Amino acid sequence: MARGVLKLPEDLPVSVPRFVGKEVTRLEDPGLVTGTAEFIDNLSLAGMLHCAILRSPHPHARILRIDTSAAEAMDGVAAVLTGEDLRRWCNPAVTAPEGWGSYSMAVDKVRFVGEPVAAVAACNRYLAEDALEQIRVEYEPLPCVPDAHAATTPGASLVFEEKGSNVIQSRVYDWGEVDRMFAEADHVVSNTFRWNRVGANPTETFGCICQWDLTGNALTCHGSYQVPRFMALGRSATLRLPANRIRIIAQPMGGGFGGKGGPRGTDIAALLSRKAEGRPVKYIEDRIEYLLAGGGQSWDRHYEAALAVRADGTITGLKVKLLDDQGAGAEGYGTISAAKPLAAFTGCYRIEAARYDLTLVATNRAPTYPFRGYGPPPHYFVLESLVDMAARKLGMDPAELRRRNYIRPEQFPYVVPSGNEYDSGQYEVVLDKALALADYAKLRAEQARARAAGRLIGIGVVSTVEPGVFDWNCYATVGVPGVGVPEGVKVAVDILGNVTVAVGFNLQGQGQFTVAAQVAADYLGVDMHAVRVATAASDVALPHFGQGGSRLGVSVTGAVLGACRKLEVLFCRVVAHLMQTTPEQVELMDGRLRLKANPAVGMTLAEVAGTMLARSDLLPPDVEPCPEANYVWTAPGRTAPDEQGRCKSYLTAANATHLVMVEVDRETGQTSILGYWIVDDCGTRLNPATVDGQIEGGVAQGVGAALFEEYVYGESAQPLVTTFVDYLIPTIGEVPSSRKAVVVTPSPVSPLGAKGTGEGAIHTTPAAIMCAINDALSPLGIEVRETPASPRRLWQLLQQVA
């Protein structure tokens, strides 16, 4: 008979787990290293047209006239789309909070540089771009809102006139007795911080092929879709089609990190197909389009924040005031990024009370989207910088100050003031391991010597909590309703015993197909590489979400375990019937259904599945001839939020300490990373190599955010960054080789004890580097509180004390 909840890999029905927890090579890889994986631009359909999009050069302007006649007359052009078509056929984007969305192509006015104004479908991309040059648009420029501060000045121009204000949301969360904590504090450290816009920039931009079925009133979209069913729902709202008539087929993706974008491109390609008699239309966003106005801009934040600290170093209160530039509306769900810190507002610390004062505004910059981490990276930059400032004020070692304030192992499950419950952790063990790994005392001695010689050497020691397995309830207060995020799989055994796992998402790089195969293989006792993992189209797949919020590794594990358990129960019944015993007398072990009393007697998976499919005469009367099982997993025990946004939201709490040593060059302002050490605890590591890859990739993106990457806007909201010459993604030369060690505290609440681990490094790295730079600068009495700490920014600071 079937087992209960599988808390650890050892609980799987195999003598020894052969794949789970092992560094296995990935199922995904042969197709990727040979270049044969079917990324969207490798797919073509018969009769396919190619789309190019004309974009606004103005940040804010009324559209007076669009003349498309010359473009329409060109040989090879099949359709031209303008805002008038959208006004007739579409609705503006659904947003949270409601009412801050634009149409997928500008209607009446443009709100940011790069907003689509017209589009062409032609027989090839070159010709489509030629046709764009033939379109004449007359604009009347409007006064623009260049940044967050301008958005709230009286008399500011309105990005969405009908709203009467540029403030999307303004509210204060109060958790505990914040004012008392600050009144009674021995020290208050407070400061302002600025996090400039950065973003995902996967190497593959967004792409899709859309085909409108004119007679069936239905739409099929192939594309680089991270969250297929969510995309279908959004298209249903904007394109006014019933959701069950939209079929989203997710292709493998060249990365995503939350910032893949896609709604506007999909709508435009779909409408062009509708105008072109239902011919398929391909749209492949180019890098300039992505950088201008794709899904790749996030976190444009101005902070004022303060810590209340007692003389002994106990941190008792945290206040964070955030002014967040969402750009031209909330279509990219950037608002959620501002709410996400609720899941871990006070980080690793026992801080009793906190306040979050949040103002989200619309400006004429490009709309903001999710990016890996979804909000905590800037938040932890602020929190951890304050902790370092407090340490300097108290004359304490920053590592010791942190240690003194950690949540202790016996306090778990621990409810933070902002409401979420952390499942488990050993923060001090992780810290100590990091200090030992780096030989912290020796680094400090080295630093003292280097300082004496006039060098600017700094050390950052930062610990964070990574909330894993996101839940919608965390974002309720910005207008996203719901508790629970279903992730469904089907596990099927065929007549020869082959196992297929059907999921609702496609590859994006994190290796979830491999995880699904590892778990299924160790449950059903088959070879991992014999398991096939396949993506089902959104209209027939089970409820699913896909990648996001450090959830899919855990969620897909839960779903595969659930489906395998159902199969086990079913197979035990069939075998019991065949062997004239009761299901309780039968068990699954190492891929065989066997008699508990006499393990030599049993049947293989193939024999059971074969009997079910081909010998209905032998089955129990109420058993269907179907050796398949569906299971839809969602995190257990989640709760609805109260009026202060408090709830059990993210299921798991992973933890890491990053330790980094940097040197700042006095002459150039250039920061070099001299050493990087990481100790990470994400519970059970389902595939340790994949976990390492998630950490190393997050470090690289964190290095980018801390030192190089920035979407720069001019004073009139003109983007100054439009190519990879300006947006500086770290290369192999800039990313440090880290030394790593591991602590494993299995989650008591998640399947097999695994914790979400896709975002921890990007939560931690920017804060660690910024703290290290300020440690380096501290003898000079200057500090940098704005990201990225680019050579220019640091050089300007250094000039003040030169």
Binders of another protein in range 731-750 (CB under 8 A): 731-733, 735, 737-738
- Residue 666: which of another protein, ligand FES, none does it interact with, CB under 5 to 8 A by kind? none
Residue 509 Cβ, how far from ligand FES at the closest point, in Å? 5
Find, among 553, 138, 145, the residue nearest to 366 by Cα: 145
Q: Output the DSSP codes for 117-142.
A: EEEEEESSHHHHHHHHHT-EEEEEE-
The residue assigned the tokens 């609440």 is 749
Closer residue to ligand FES (CB): 347 or 509: 509
Q: Which residue type occupies 429? A: V
Q: How far is the CB of 288 from another protein (least distance, A)?
A: 8
* Chain mean position to CA 59: 28
Residue 126 neighbours by CB under 8 Å, 6+ apart: none
Give the three-class secondary structure for 576: helix
Phi, psi of 174 (to 5 degrees): -120, 120
* Minimum CB distance to ligand FES smaller for 203 or for 800: 203
To another protein, the closest distance from the beta carbon of 780 in angstroms equals 31
Residue 642 has which token pair? Answer: 């109260």
Residues 59, 716 contacting (CB under 8 angstroms): yes
Which partner in another protein, ligand FES, none is near 621 (CB below 5 to 8 A by kind)? none
Cβ-closest residue to ligand FES?
A: 203
Strands 786-787 and 187-195, how do they pair?
Answer: parallel
Cα–Cα distance between 394 and 377 in angstroms, integer?
A: 26
Answer for which of 92, 332, 509, 758 binds ligand FES (CB under 6 A) is: 509
* Distance of closest approach, residue 269 Cβ to ligand FES, in angstroms: 22
Give the one residue of 34, 153, 203, 800 binding ligand FES; rule: CB under 6 A: 203
Min dist CB 20 to another protein, Å, is 17
Residue 698 interacting entry, from another protein, ligand FES, none, C-beta within 5 to 8 Å by type: another protein
Q: Which of 655, 765, 632 is CA-nearest to residue 705?
A: 765
When the beta carbons of 421 and 709 are compared against ligand FES, the nearer one is 709
Interface positions, 253-312, toward ligand FES (CB under 6 A): 255
Residue 252 touching ligand FES (CB under 6 A): no
Answer whether 539's CB lies under 8 Å from 244's CB: yes
Binding-site size for another protein (CB under 8 A) equals 59
Residue 25 contact, options ligand FES, another protein, none, Cβ 5-8 Å cut-off depending on partner type: another protein
Select from another protein, ligand FES, none the partner in contact with residue 79, using the beta carbon and a kind-dependent cut-off of 5 to 8 Å.
none
Residue 42 interface partner, choices another protein, ligand FES, none, CB cut-off 5-8 Å depending on type: another protein
Smaller CB distance to another protein: residue 213 or 286?
Answer: 286
Helix axes 427-438, 440-452, angle to 10 degrees: 50
Q: Which does 411 bind (CB under 5 to 8 A by kind): ligand FES, another protein, none?
A: none
**Residue 35 found at the interface with another protein (CB under 8 A):** yes
Select 203 or 580, whichever has its Cβ closest to ligand FES.
Answer: 203
Q: How many residues bind ligand FES (CB under 6 A)?
A: 3
**Candidates 298-306, 456-464, 534-542, 684-692 — which segment interacts with another protein by CB under 8 A?**
684-692
SS3 content of the chain, % helix, strand, coil (to 5): 35, 25, 45
Q: How far is CA 687 from CA 337, 455, 515, 623, 684, in A?
A: 28, 42, 7, 36, 9
Residue closer to ligand FES, measured from CB, 259 or 509: 509
From ligand FES, another protein, none, interface partner of 731 (C-beta below 5 to 8 A by class): another protein
Q: Which is nearer to another protein, 280 or 509 (CB)?
A: 509
C-alpha 138 chain-centroid distance: 39
Interface mask toward another protein for 605-634; x: CB under 8 A: ------------------------------
Q: What is the distance between the alpha carbons of residues 474 and 647, in angstroms, rounded to a whole number?
A: 7
- Cα separation, 379 vs 391, whole angstroms: 19
CB 167 within 8 A of CB 319: no
Give the residue with the Cβ less far from ligand FES, 370 or 425: 370
Query: CA 468 to CA 745: how far, in whole Å?
Result: 14
Q: Smallest Cα–Cα separation from 417: which of 477, 342, 469?
A: 342
Determine contact, residues 352/156, Cβ cutoff 8 Å. no
Does the footprint of ligand FES cover residue 704 (CB under 6 A)?
Answer: no
Tokens of 524: 């059903």
**Residue 582 interacting partner from ligand FES, another protein, none (CB closer than 5 to 8 Å by kind):** none
By rule CB under 6 A, what string of x and - marks binding of each residue 586-615 to ligand FES?
------------------------------
Question: To the nearest 10°, the Cα dihedral for 3, 6, 8, 13?
Answer: 40
Among another protein, ligand FES, none, residue 690 binds (CB under 5-8 Å by kind): another protein
Burial class (CB in 10 A: 0-12, 13-18, 19+), 395: exposed
Nearer to ligand FES, 30 or 625 (CB): 30
Nearer to another protein, 485 or 695 (CB): 695
Please list every residue from 12 through 31 that binds another protein, using CB under 8 A: 25-26, 28-31
Binding status of residue 555 toward another protein by CB under 8 A? no
Site track for another protein across 695-724, x = CB under 8 A: xxxxxxx---------------------xx
CA angle 746, 747, 748 (to 5 degrees): 110
Can residue 425 be called a binding residue for ligand FES (CB under 6 A)? no
Binds another protein by CB under 8 A, chosen from 3, 8, 41, 213: 41
Query: What dihedral angle (degrees, nearest 10) is formed by the CA atoms of 234, 238, 240, 243?
Result: -10
Element containing residue 250 per DSSP (H, E): strand 246-250
The least CB distance from residue 234 to another protein, in Å, is 23
Q: CA angle 378-756-34, nearest 5°?
A: 100
- Which of 606, 591, 607 lies closest to 498 in space, CA to CA? 606
- For 673, phi then psi, to 5°, come to -90, 115
User: Among residues 207 and 562, whose Cβ is nearest to another protein?
Assistant: 207
Q: Which does 558 bind (CB under 5 to 8 A by kind): ligand FES, another protein, none?
A: none
Q: Which of residues 92-151 bind another protein (CB under 8 A)?
A: 126-127, 130
Cα-Cα end-to-end distance for the chain: 76
Minimum CB distance to ligand FES smaller for 199 or for 753:
199
Do residues 599 and 530 make contact, with C-beta atoms less than 8 angstroms apart?
no
> Is 795 in a helix, a strand, or coil?
helix
Nearer to ligand FES, 600 or 725 (CB): 725
Burial of 667 (0-12, 13-18, 19+ CB in 10 A): exposed
Q: Least distance (Å) from another protein to the CB of residue 180?
A: 44
Task: Identify whether 97 is preceded by a cis peptide bond (ω within 30 of 0).
Answer: yes
Question: Closest separation between CB of residue 249 and another protein, Å?
Answer: 17
Query: Nearest distance from residue 594's CB to ligand FES, in Å?
Result: 43
Looking at the Cβ atoms of 509 and 610, the one nearer to ligand FES is 509
The Cα 672–Cα 662 span in angstroms is: 5
Q: How far is the CB of 255 from ligand FES (least distance, A)?
A: 5
In the three-class reduction of DSSP (H, G, I as helix; E, B as strand; rest coil), residue 27 is classed as: coil
Residues that bind ligand FES (CB under 6 A): 203, 255, 509
Residues that bind another protein (CB under 8 A): 25-26, 28-37, 39, 41-42, 126-127, 130, 200-205, 252-257, 286-288, 507-511, 689-690, 692-693, 695-701, 723-725, 729, 731-733, 735, 737-738
